[in-house]
Structure 1
Amino acid sequence: MDTVVKLERHDVIAVVTINNPPVNALSAAVRGGILASVNAAIADPEVKAIVLTCAGRTFIAGADITEFGKPPEPPGWDELLAVLENSPKPVVAAIHGHALGGGLELALVCHFRVATKDARLGLPEVKLGLLPGGGGTQRLPRIVGVEKALDIVTSGQHAPAKEALEVGLVDELAPEGQLNEAAVAFARKILAEKKPLVKVRENNTKLEVAKGHPEIFENFRKANARKFRGFLAPEKNIRCIETAVTSATFEEGLAVERKLFMELMAGPQSAAQRYYFFAERQAQKIPDVPDDTPTHAVKKVGILGAGTMGGGIAMNFASAGIPVTIVEIKGEALDRGLKVIRSNYDRTASRGGLTPEQVNQRMGLLNGSLTMEDFAECDLVIEAVFERMEIKKQVFADLDRICKPGAILATNTSELNVNEIASVTRRPEDVIGLHFFSPANVMKLLEVIRGEKTAKDVIATCMKLAKTIGKVAVLAGVCHGFIGNRMLNQREREANKLVLEGAIPWDVDRVLYDFGFPMGPFRMNDLAGLDLGWVMEESRSSTLREVLCEMGRLGQKSGAGYYDYDENRNAKPSPVTDKIINDFIAKSGKSPRKISDGEILERCIYPMINEGAKILEEGKAIRASDIDVVWVNGYGWPVYRGGPMYWADQIGLDKVLAKMKEFHATLGDDFKPAALLEKLVAEGKKFADFEQPA
């Protein structure tokens, strides 16, 4: 029998233990081991019931994703599920940690389920562009009801054990630290009471409630239309549960599930989402900063600035239980910042995301101050002040004087030179960039900027800390705009050039929205505020944005920007903006031309890809997939397209290069192809093949 699965006897109870670290994924070896062990227990006349449990930190947390797309190895998934479900002896799943995907599907074919109080159960396949392929969409609604099943399979969220008990997904919660004992005791109890074996597939009671009510599905689709936009997997998950309700037999529902699963598995969206799953994990690996690099203990954090960014950054640490000292120059600004933080937490609490006690606990971790001297004992200090180099340098000179030896000094700059900032300190090895994205308490991305003298232990500490505060960290080198904003600048430039050639802002936005972005560049700028970085005294009416700002059209907050907004901030095309654009075109002496949607997309995105190639060839990003992680998490690139570099690989780098050369010839050096792009095309390679020189 395979060593990853062990069979033991506890009197008349057989205990089958899976031990396949780190997450007990359902590899071929695990499937084979379970099958052999369960068959042996069924054949043993002394065994009256079977407990299926896992060693380590979790129950089965899903299928072995590394096997996706490869020829299946025996035993088959269906064969394993059938043996468990049809066992003549009761099978009890003992769940701790996470029972996810195939792990939960396996538990659903067991006759009973016992879980620890901190266990979590879910079917997260939708996040990989898939649906549960082992009967999950057919068994789940039979046990939790249609509405709850719809929510679970389309969100991919995990249900906590208490909720799972309430909806019938588990039968009993085990006392802390006694899961296996509780599961064995539960098995003895059902034997003593001669309880019938419960097959979820045969329980149609909760499906009957939904029969003849198609509005359940119609209403669910409407309510989630915005969230599901562009994705294929949520709709196919819904269709599977719809089939569970409307089909005559369980087998008919399984056939539909299998068909739709295979369609998704073979499709481009799931391939992109599976690629991204690994890309996010790969981003944590830094070749010259090994996993065993020593890290600093960060027990107290200082934030300079209580504005939008500083307050949002502070919330990340308070939410993770880390005390924060927030320093502002003026008392009014400090009070305003703390008030905004409090209102953000209260808003979350009003929606059920926090208890009042948790709000008070987090606010209790925030200490406001008007003097930087209070940073003296902080382990990490992050400045979030105005984006001017002279201000940043003065701040870091002061921090160098005030902060204790070994403290990490971080700048939240979005584009300035971290090396120049570090140069005013006596400890440039302790200086790093931590570029949070706005709103900092919501956005997942954290660009960690490595200065030329930043110490490896400082990098390791910040990458580890990112996980603690719920961020996805990507390491970047020092260059203007780092990874994300450097590429965004290419798109912004072309979007603005396009509107002065004949496109209109709402057409540009529509094309990028249809591609999958949450909004286009002009809507995004209106949301952020057109006056961000704009200085009235320096304004010369030389750009569309400057003219709009001079007119007081600052975006959503003023009721007008590129668009006009009503009292609910709904946008509509603005004749004012239209006239300003036409005036600019007239002054240029050119005539507006008809610009196709295809050209808008290529002009906005291909230069970004080209800039990504330059970032790679300059060594400012470790790998192409890191760039994709930045764009998915920080800029709303649709995850079902994988990221800009992955997308370029899929459409063909030769196509991107040919179009860049065409634009270069007609539109100038803004489109000059990157040397790396030309090299990869010449060698027949992709961005995915690129590796930084050792």
Structure 2
Amino acid sequence: MSSTNYQLHGSTAVITLDNPPVNGLGYDLRCGIVAGIDQATADPAVKAVVLIGSDRAFSGGADIREFGSPKSYAEPNLLTVIRIVEACPKPVVAAIGGVCMGGGLELTLGCHFRVAIAGASIALPEIKLGLLPGAGGTQRMPRIVGVEAALNLILSGNPVPSEKFKGTPLFDEFIEGNGGDLLKGALAFADKVVAEKRPLKRIRDIRIDYPGQEAFFQFSRNMVKGVAGPFPAPFKCIDAVQAALTKPFDEGMKFERACFIELMGTPESRALRHAFTGERAASKIPDVPDDTPARKIARVGVIGAGTMGGGITMNFLNAGIPVTMLEMKQEALDKGIATIRKNYENSMKKGKLTQEKLDQRMGMLSGTLSYDDFKDADLIIEAVFEEISVKEAVFKQLDAIAKPGAILASNTSTLDVNKIANFTKRPQDVVGMHFFSPANVMKLLEVVRGAATAKDVMATVMQVAKKIKKTAVVSGVCDGFIGNRMIEHYGRVAGFLLEEGATPAQVDKALEKWGMAMGPFRMGDLAGNDIGWAIRKRRYVEKPSIRYAKFADKLCEQGRYGQKTGKGWYLYQPGNRKAIPDPEVDTMLEAYRKELGITPRKISDAEIVQRCIYALVNEGARILEEGIAARASDIDMIYLTGYGFPLHRGGPMLYADEVGLYNVARSMKEFAATSGDAFWEPAPLIAKRVADGKSLT
């Protein structure tokens, strides 16, 4: 099936790219472009060719639906297509409107001329996937816009408006008007090229003269060193652009290709590509079709004006959705509104917000002490104390006053959403919307689907998440859902490491050096150790078979709840979040080990990382097998966006695949033998995938 349309407009052949939504350069589209060029070349009546996309996109680059499949490499591949376009004996004009990114932009660089409409979006975003432009972008772009501009575009990966390149040879002409005028303007330009008998401009033939290039590229390497972190792609991008200056074009192309293939094989690029596709996959719910009608969300209610409720409220105000915020006492309500205003004022001081925007957002916020003011709300989210009896009181009130069809959401982080839904007579309208603190900053939204939650409620919440710029991941109902159910075992294992001889600072440093944003004990101090204590107390009653190290309880018994009390696993000075190791904790730990009759041993950083990260993997595999998560990448998205898991490792499930499931399972069995903890028996899904020679992702 062809993904292009071929039409004659006088003596100009127009090849229109037609592979919605963004004209991804899939196999059929590539074949269509080549067929169109061949047809135009063979037709003596054709004097010029225009290559054009839709109003929305010239081309967004590679077709992600073909990533990793044989079709993505099949001939004609993109390099071949560009070579055929460039070798066409008749002028080929790229008409650029909408998105023109990655391979799409590289395709236009193979054309002889380029015209654009103002507002087109230009980018070479491959670095965001741990790659470099692999179809000539590093060789042609410096030749046409200059070395510095090309390198900035390649290293940032960010889109820039086409007007930024006005006056450079990248665009031969800007077309006035809107998308509908682009084709007319491109045809007029093609007629002019033919009438004036302009020579065909091949970017590959341009020679670059750049005195002092060695010093410039060394400076560039020094600049990226501080921001590249563990990612090799920025340095390879610089190497490839330098090759455009130091090597003949064909040799530069070979060098670019070698760099591209090398980067494709790195775990860092695999991690970034996994995150890219995982984020898109997470928005799809297998049994909720894309065309499911969504409910209208014009007004939101939020219960609770504390840290969580205020953060949730800001998300909606930022998106232009009015919010009514409820508290039980005027003092708490005033404090919550004042905090929101202060947060916006801080953004304004940093130049991220204007006074007009601040006033506009605060104008959409109203406070109330009465549930009656939620009568018109389309979505009501509670952010009250994490206690089932408190949730019960709230949802019974909401059931009594909310209008039919209003969505009732709980921000619970662990409690049973089905039980909460059954406090109402409308369980189909109840859903979990678990925001992560600080809710106005953290990207993750865990959407908890109850047994009765209606499909249109799920569709609506996923759309709302996109509107408030969250990465939404669906979880089934279980204690702790996906993220907190896994993190509990991560923390539990860290507790045993302390019993055996490690210190909180050693555990945290080992995991942070490995890439975690924060170790488990610093994270506990930030969240509040009393929260974990409350969960453990519940576990002692509900799941007495699960063993916990009791030292964390001893800390909490002394009121060491973390940053909010100035003492936890660490010491904290007023107004400073820096964690200072506390000798008193070390003394308590020594006494605790003596009580248990444990002789401390030296524990390596490698063991700390293995045990803590493999705990996430094992529980994640159980969650996947139970159907709580729809796919392994959903688990990884939760950990990448909500728990500070290092991006270059791609999430716990992908990391297990990178290490090799066989190796992970062997280590788990060793931990089981030495600890006697039944948790370490590899999850049945891991055992099955190992036996089948398959991966988790």
User: Offset of 1:685 from its aligned partner?
Assistant: 5.0
**SS where residue 386 of structure 2 aligns?**
coil
**SS where residue 49 of structure 2 aligns?**
strand
Tell me the residue number matched to 1:462.
Answer: 461
CA deviations on 1:300-359 (whole Å, 9 max, x unpaired) are 111112222222222222232322222233344334433443444455555555554444
Looking at structure 1, the residues matched to 276 and 562 of structure 2 have their Cα atoms a distance apart, in angstroms, of 38
Looking at structure 1, the residues matched to 617 and 428 of structure 2 have their Cα atoms a distance apart, in angstroms, of 32
User: Offset of 1:16 from its aligned partner?
Assistant: 1.7
**SS where residue 433 of structure 2 aligns?**
strand
Tell me the residue number matched to 2:278.
Answer: 279
Q: 2:392 matched to 1:390?
A: no
Looking at structure 2, the residues matched to 509 and 454 of structure 1 have their Cα atoms a distance apart, in angstroms, of 39
Taking the TM superposition and a 5 Å limit, the aligned residue runs for 1:540-551 are: 543-544=551-552, 547=555, 550=558
Contact residue 19 and residue 56 of structure 1 kept, 8 A: no
Tell me the residue number matched to 1:580.
Answer: 588
Contact residue 2 and residue 29 of structure 2 kept, 8 A: no
Tell me the residue number matched to 2:425.
Answer: 426
Looking at structure 1, the residues matched to 315 and 108 of structure 2 have their Cα atoms a distance apart, in angstroms, of 35
In structure 2, give the amino acid aligned to 1:661: K
Q: 2:370 matched to 1:367?
A: no
In structure 2, give the amino acid aligned to 1:160: P
**SS where residue 381 of structure 2 aligns?**
strand
Q: 1:423 to 1:223 in 2, by over 3 A?
A: same
**SS where residue 414 of structure 2 aligns?**
coil
User: Offset of 1:137 from its aligned partner?
Assistant: 2.0
Tell me the residue number matched to 1:676.
Answer: 684
Q: 1:390 to 1:553 in 2, by over 3 A?
A: closer
Contact residue 504 and residue 569 of structure 2 kept, 8 A: no
Taking the TM superposition and a 5 Å limit, the aligned residue runs for 1:29-428 are: 29-42=28-41, 44-55=43-54, 57-65=56-64, 66=66, 68=68, 70=70, 72-87=73-88, 89-165=90-166, 170=171, 171-172=173-174, 174-177=176-179, 178-189=181-192, 197-202=200-205, 207-208=210-211, 212-224=215-227, 228-245=228-245, 247-348=246-347, 353-428=352-427
Looking at structure 2, the residues matched to 416 and 661 of structure 1 have their Cα atoms a distance apart, in angstroms, of 31
Looking at structure 2, the residues matched to 182 and 350 of structure 1 have their Cα atoms a distance apart, in angstroms, of 45
Q: 1:533 to 1:275 in 2, by over 3 A?
A: closer
Looking at structure 2, the residues matched to 505 and 384 of structure 1 have their Cα atoms a distance apart, in angstroms, of 31
**SS where residue 215 of structure 2 aligns?**
coil
Q: 2:490 matched to 1:483?
A: no
In structure 2, give the amino acid aligned to 1:490: H
Looking at structure 1, the residues matched to 329 and 164 of structure 2 have their Cα atoms a distance apart, in angstroms, of 47
Taking the TM superposition and a 5 Å limit, the aligned residue runs for 1:496-507 are: 496-507=495-506
Tell me the residue number matched to 1:692.
Answer: none
In structure 2, give the amino acid aligned to 1:172: F
CA deviations on 1:567-592 (whole Å, 9 max, x unpaired) are 87555644444333333323333221
Farther-moved stretch of structure 1 (546-555 vs 632-641):
546-555
**SS where residue 7 of structure 1 aligns?**
strand
Q: 2:498 matched to 1:495?
A: no
Q: 2:660 matched to 1:661?
A: no
**SS where residue 59 of structure 1 aligns?**
strand
**SS where residue 92 of structure 1 aligns?**
strand
Tell me the residue number matched to 2:634.
Answer: 626
Contact residue 556 and residue 565 of structure 1 kept, 8 A: no
**SS where residue 452 of structure 2 aligns?**
coil
Unaligned runs of 5+ in 2: 538-548
User: Offset of 1:529 from its aligned partner?
Assistant: 4.7
Contact residue 161 and residue 173 of structure 1 kept, 8 A: no
Tell me the residue number matched to 2:17.
Answer: 18
* RMSD after superposition: 3.3
User: Offset of 1:63 from its aligned partner?
Assistant: 1.4
Contact residue 610 and residue 677 of structure 1 kept, 8 A: no
Q: 2:16 matched to 1:8?
A: no
Q: 1:186 to 1:386 in 2, by over 3 A?
A: farther
In structure 2, give the amino acid aligned to 1:311: G
In structure 1, give the amino acid aligned to 2:390: I
Contact residue 144 and residue 206 of structure 1 kept, 8 A: no
Q: 1:306 to 1:654 in 2, by over 3 A?
A: same
Looking at structure 1, the residues matched to 465 and 104 of structure 2 have their Cα atoms a distance apart, in angstroms, of 28
User: Offset of 1:259 from its aligned partner?
Assistant: 1.0
Looking at structure 1, the residues matched to 110 and 255 of structure 2 have their Cα atoms a distance apart, in angstroms, of 19
Looking at structure 2, the residues matched to 578 and 220 of structure 1 have their Cα atoms a distance apart, in angstroms, of 41
Tell me the residue number matched to 1:606.
Answer: 614
Looking at structure 2, the residues matched to 343 and 166 of structure 1 have their Cα atoms a distance apart, in angstroms, of 44
**SS where residue 52 of structure 1 aligns?**
strand
CA deviations on 1:167-208 (whole Å, 9 max, x unpaired) are 775452541232222323344455567766554445566855
Looking at structure 2, the residues matched to 172 and 275 of structure 1 have their Cα atoms a distance apart, in angstroms, of 37
**SS where residue 397 of structure 1 aligns?**
helix
Among 645, 649, 659, the residue aligned to 1:651: 659
User: Offset of 1:74 from its aligned partner?
Assistant: 1.9
Farther-moved stretch of structure 1 (92-101 vs 254-263):
92-101
Q: 1:560 to 1:411 in 2, by over 3 A?
A: closer
Looking at structure 2, the residues matched to 167 and 545 of structure 1 have their Cα atoms a distance apart, in angstroms, of 66
Contact residue 310 and residue 336 of structure 2 kept, 8 A: yes
**SS where residue 616 of structure 1 aligns?**
helix
Q: 1:681 to 1:194 in 2, by over 3 A?
A: closer
In structure 2, give the amino acid aligned to 1:326: M
User: Offset of 1:261 from its aligned partner?
Assistant: 0.4
Farther-moved stretch of structure 1 (381-390 vs 50-59):
50-59
In structure 1, give the amino acid aligned to 2:313: A
In structure 2, give the amino acid aligned to 1:478: V
User: Offset of 1:404 from its aligned partner?
Assistant: 0.5
CA deviations on 1:184-243 (whole Å, 9 max, x unpaired) are 33444555677665544455668557553345314422441xxx3222323322332344
Contact residue 660 and residue 671 of structure 1 kept, 8 A: no
User: Offset of 1:528 from its aligned partner?
Assistant: 3.8
Q: 1:11 to 1:352 in 2, by over 3 A?
A: farther
Tell me the residue number matched to 2:543.
Answer: none
Farther-moved stretch of structure 1 (172-181 vs 445-454):
172-181
Q: 1:222 to 1:87 in 2, by over 3 A?
A: same
Q: 2:443 matched to 1:435?
A: no
**SS where residue 494 of structure 1 aligns?**
helix
Unaligned runs of 5+ in 1: 690-694
User: Offset of 1:515 from its aligned partner?
Assistant: 2.9
What is the total number of aligned residue pairs between the two structures? 680
Looking at structure 2, the residues matched to 303 and 649 of structure 1 have their Cα atoms a distance apart, in angstroms, of 41
Contact residue 446 and residue 472 of structure 2 kept, 8 A: yes
**SS where residue 473 of structure 1 aligns?**
strand
Contact residue 621 and residue 686 of structure 2 kept, 8 A: no
**SS where residue 212 of structure 1 aligns?**
helix
**SS where residue 287 of structure 1 aligns?**
coil
In structure 2, give the amino acid aligned to 1:585: R
Among 589, 602, 609, the residue aligned to 1:594: 602
User: Offset of 1:69 from its aligned partner?
Assistant: 5.6
Contact residue 141 and residue 206 of structure 1 kept, 8 A: no
In structure 2, give the amino acid aligned to 1:631: Y
User: Offset of 1:439 from its aligned partner?
Assistant: 2.1
In structure 2, give the amino acid aligned to 1:97: G
User: Offset of 1:134 from its aligned partner?
Assistant: 0.8
User: Offset of 1:11 from its aligned partner?
Assistant: 2.8
Contact residue 118 and residue 174 of structure 2 kept, 8 A: no
User: Offset of 1:683 from its aligned partner?
Assistant: 4.0
Looking at structure 2, the residues matched to 147 and 576 of structure 1 have their Cα atoms a distance apart, in angstroms, of 55
